[in-house]
Amino acid sequence: MADIIVARDLTKRYGDFTAVDGISFDVAAGQCFGFLGPNGAGKTTTIRMISCVSPVTEGSLTVDGMHVQTEPRRIKGLLGVVPQEDNLDPELTVLQNLRAYARYFDLPPALAQQRINEALSLLQLGEKQKDRIDALSGGLKRRLTIARGLLNSPKILVLDEPTVGLDPQARHLVWQKLRSLKARGITMLLTTHYMDEAAHLCDRIVVLHQGKIIAGGTPDELIDSHAGKEVIELHGPIEDRLALMSRLDGRTDVSVEEVEDILYVYVRSENGFDASSLKLEANRVVFRRANLEDVFLRLTGRGLAEE
Amino acid sequence: MTVIAIPRAARGIWRRPDVSWLLALRVWQRNRDVYLNLWKAEAMWPLVEPLVTLVALGIGLGDFVELDGNQSYIDFIAPGMLAVYPMWMAAAEMGWGSFFRMDSQRTFDAIISTPASVDDVTSGEIFWGATRGFISLCYVFVMVLVLGTIESPLAVFIFPLSFLPGLMFASMALSYSAVARSVSSLNYFFAAFITPQYWLAGVFFPLDRLPEWVQVVAWFTPAFHVVRVYRGLVEGDLDWTMLVSIAWMIAVTTVFYVLALYLMRRRLVK
């Protein structure tokens, strides 16, 4: 499918600080495209540039063939933005919030009301129409913010940390709603530092670190190339860890990383490795499949993210 | 394909304003919706404050005041009441009100994620500030009318004219809010700028009794000109210097509107 967002050498500087450092990427229409990275990596800045609320310092950025610098109003008309912090109007009801927001897109009143009804029913908010915002839980506020982002039938839904601060039930409900939107063919941009969220939703991921893209691909590709197939975690005293490291010395199908008091052994080949040969004490060892969290931590360093 | 970035100064003060009046109206409508939800609570202050002032100063203190030409003190202060309470209201709405919307509620961030620009937000806000001033004017006008202090039918022209000082004080207050760091720092603006105008704009006593340098300073304050024009309309006593006052208000409004556009862009576009 055609690329709906094209960024080339995209750069954002605040004075001497470079928040986004010459990144290039393409987002295909209909994809869910994830920006992963620790706090301060440049994820939010990137999607703020795409949303035309933060000027590009250098490079080029087009959305649906239009330059963000020259056509911000038209681009913003195509986007549904779900910000990181809820910015609903607390003094208006659920319905009033949606009506006020729909007016910015200049929809005819009948169409606006139809879209409002659709969004309310899709996000199961119909019974809450007359409620004040203060009366809503965090999960309901999030769903309302997503509903608000759908009123203009956006081509692209921009989600900045969409489930931050939600309890597990609320997160899973939001994910389910987002998957159903994706099934309708809407393009999604997602920033997150929850790896399970990225794994659940994203077709393609780029990992940002200190303003640069340090890896990109599908979730499986990233796991394969950066973490391997399986992971052995060894929780235990330093002598055990040293003993294990000496036994692994010289092997090419594994890589080892020591973080604080845990040793991680990343196993590349699925079947060519006999874990029992390591003679590990089972209660201190976890065998599991590699996941995006491993990719993330290997690529961006552990505990090194500074705000 | 080589794509060339098109640079454009998004924050420069001399950039041509990017205002869609339709979207500015949408911003105004959003504020109206909130106001209509809260109007009873919002009506308290603009009703009680001028009423108490008119009674306490106009009637209470007025008994001890002797003016030229047998004018009663309440008649003397009535035109100024029509000027300074709407000033307070427009400034308060663009001070505390806009700052709260911008900073705590992040309302403006939500609006500029839609096709609306920062300039639309600034313009819609300023029109809303002027509207709040107009609502306050209506309240005070009824009071001074009932108290029998309106001498000339020319006073009805205060209604359309009031949008000019409304926009002026709203632009000034929003310019300050755009650079304010916290809610409490708004106090500087109100203490140093609005309160002195309230007392020293010729509402409560004629300025010719004050030292000359105070009169010169007072001439440059916007409220002085509003009071002068309103006094002429209420008393039916017009002269050409009122045109100078109106020209001064237009000039101040223009300067602060452009400044508010610039400062709000600087605040919200990062």
Q: Which of A89, A96, A150, A153 should be substituted to probe chain B, the one whose Cβ sees the most B Cβ atoms within 10 Å?
A: A89
| Whole-Å CA distances, A46 to A35, A98, B215 | 9, 27, 55
- Closest Cβ–Cβ partner in A73, A88, A92 for B34: A92
Tell me the CB-side half-sphere exposure of residue A70, using CA atoms within 13 A.
11
Angle between helices A109-122 and A138-149 (to 10 degrees): 140
Per CB-CB distance under 8 Å, the chain A contacts of B105 are 87, 89-90
- Among 3.40.50, 3.30.70, 3.30.9, 1.10.8, name the CATH number for the domain at A228-290: 3.30.70
Distance from CA of A144 to the nearest CA of B (A): 13
Q: Are B162 and B133 in contact (CB under 8 A)?
A: yes
Q: Are A227 and A298 in contact (CB under 8 A)?
A: yes
Edge to edge, the sheet with strand A58-63 lists A17-28, A3-14, A58-63, A66-67
Which of A190-194, A242-246, B48-52, B93-97 is least confident? A242-246
Span A24-53, mean pLDDT? 94
Q: Which of B113, B121, B128 should be substituted to probe chain A, the one whose Cβ sees the most A Cβ atoms within 10 Å?
A: B113
**A132 falls in which pLDDT band (50, 70, 90)?**
very high
% of chain A exceeding 90 in pLDDT:
60
pLDDT computed for residue A283 by the predictor: 62
| Whole-Å CA distances, B206 to B146, B211, B232, B240 | 24, 12, 14, 19
Say which CATH topology domain A3-223 has: Rossmann fold (3.40.50)
Contact between chains at B23 and A83 (C-beta distance less than 8 A): no
Contact between chains at A104 and B37 (C-beta distance less than 8 A): no
Residue B64 φ then ψ, to 5°: -95, 0
Per CB-CB distance under 8 Å, the chain B contacts of A157 are none
Q: Where along chain A do the CATH 3.40.50.300 domains lie?
A: 3-223
ipTM for the whole complex = 0.88
**B246 falls in which pLDDT band (50, 70, 90)?**
very high
Per CB-CB distance under 8 Å, the chain A contacts of B117 are 72-73
What is the dihedral sign for C-alpha B244, B246, B249, B253?
negative
Structural element, H or E, at residue A226: helix A219-226
Query: pLDDT tens, A142-185?
Result: 999 999 999 999 999 999 999 888 888 888 988 998 999 999 99
Contact between chains at A59 and B37 (C-beta distance less than 8 A): no
- Closest Cβ–Cβ partner in B20, B34, B113 for A81: B113
Distance from CA of B42 to the nearest CA of A (A): 13
Per CB-CB distance under 8 Å, the chain A contacts of B1 are none
What is the dihedral sign for C-alpha B219, B222, B227, B230?
positive
Closest C-alpha among B172, B11, B48, B46 to residue B98: B172
Q: b/e string for A280-302 if b means 16 or more Cβ within 10 A?
A: beeeebeeeebebbbbbbbbbee
Phi-psi bin for B264: left (phi > 0), alpha (psi -120 to 50), beta? Answer: alpha
The CA-CA-CA angle for residues A28, B8, A34, to 5°, reads 25
Q: How far apart are CA B186 and CA B167, in angstroms?
A: 19
Contact between chains at A90 and B20 (C-beta distance less than 8 A): no
Closest C-alpha among A230, A262, A232, A263 to residue A245: A263
Contact between chains at A103 and B107 (C-beta distance less than 8 A): no
| Whole-Å CA distances, A289 to A224, A244, A259, A268 | 11, 20, 18, 11
% of chain B exceeding 70 in pLDDT:
95
Closest C-alpha among B258, B263, B261, B268 to residue B119: B261
Query: pLDDT tens, B207-221?
Result: 888 899 989 988 999
- Would you say residue B62 has pLDDT above 60? yes
pLDDT computed for residue A255 by the predictor: 79
Contact between chains at B110 and A87 (C-beta distance less than 8 A): yes
DSSP lists the bridge partners of residue A258 as A263
Q: Tell me how far apart the terminal alpha carbons of chain B are, to the nearest angstrom.
A: 29
- Closest Cβ–Cβ partner in A69, A76, A103 for B26: A103
What is the dihedral sign for C-alpha B147, B153, B155, B159?
positive
Query: pLDDT tens, A254-299?
Result: 778 777 778 888 887 666 566 666 666 656 778 888 888 888 888 8
Mean pLDDT of chain A: 88
Mean pLDDT of chain B: 91
Per CB-CB distance under 8 Å, the chain A contacts of B17 are none
Per CB-CB distance under 8 Å, the chain B contacts of A77 are 114-115
Contact between chains at B117 and A73 (C-beta distance less than 8 A): yes
Contact between chains at A105 and B115 (C-beta distance less than 8 A): yes
Q: How far apart are CA A159 and CA A155, in angstroms?
A: 13
Residues of B in CB contact (< 8 Å) with A are 3-8, 10-11, 20, 22-23, 26, 29-30, 33-34, 37-38, 105-107, 109-117, 269-270
pLDDT computed for residue A273 by the predictor: 63
The nearest alpha carbon in chain A to B5 belongs to A60
pLDDT computed for residue B4 by the predictor: 47
Q: Where along chain A do the CATH 3.30.70 domains lie?
A: 228-290
Query: pLDDT tens, A225-262?
Result: 888 888 888 887 777 777 777 777 777 777 787 777 78
Q: How far apart are CA B180 and CA B168, in angstroms?
A: 19
pLDDT computed for residue A270 by the predictor: 62
Query: pLDDT tens, B156-190?
Result: 999 999 999 999 999 999 999 999 999 999 999 99
- Closest Cβ–Cβ partner in A70, A73, A90 for B6: A70
Residues of A in CB contact (< 8 Å) with B are 6, 8, 14, 51, 53-56, 58-62, 67, 69-70, 72-74, 76-77, 79, 81, 83, 85, 87-92, 96, 99-101, 103-106, 152
Structural element, H or E, at residue A27: strand A17-28
The nearest alpha carbon in chain A to B114 belongs to A76
Q: Are B179 and B84 in contact (CB under 8 A)?
A: no
Q: How big is the A-B interface in CB pairs under 8 Å?
A: 89
Per CB-CB distance under 8 Å, the chain A contacts of B106 are 83, 85, 87
Q: b/e string for B134-160 if b means 16 or more Cβ within 10 A?
A: bbbbebbbebbeebebbbeeebeebee
Most confident segment among A71-75, A193-197, A221-225, B11-15: A71-75
Q: Are A14 and A22 in contact (CB under 8 A)?
A: no
DSSP lists the bridge partners of residue A15 as none
Distance from CA of A12 to the nearest CA of B (A): 10
| Whole-Å CA distances, A22 to A7, A18, A218 | 9, 9, 22
Distance from CA of B133 to the nearest CA of A (A): 21
Q: Are B50 and B140 in contact (CB under 8 A)?
A: yes
Contact between chains at B5 and A89 (C-beta distance less than 8 A): no
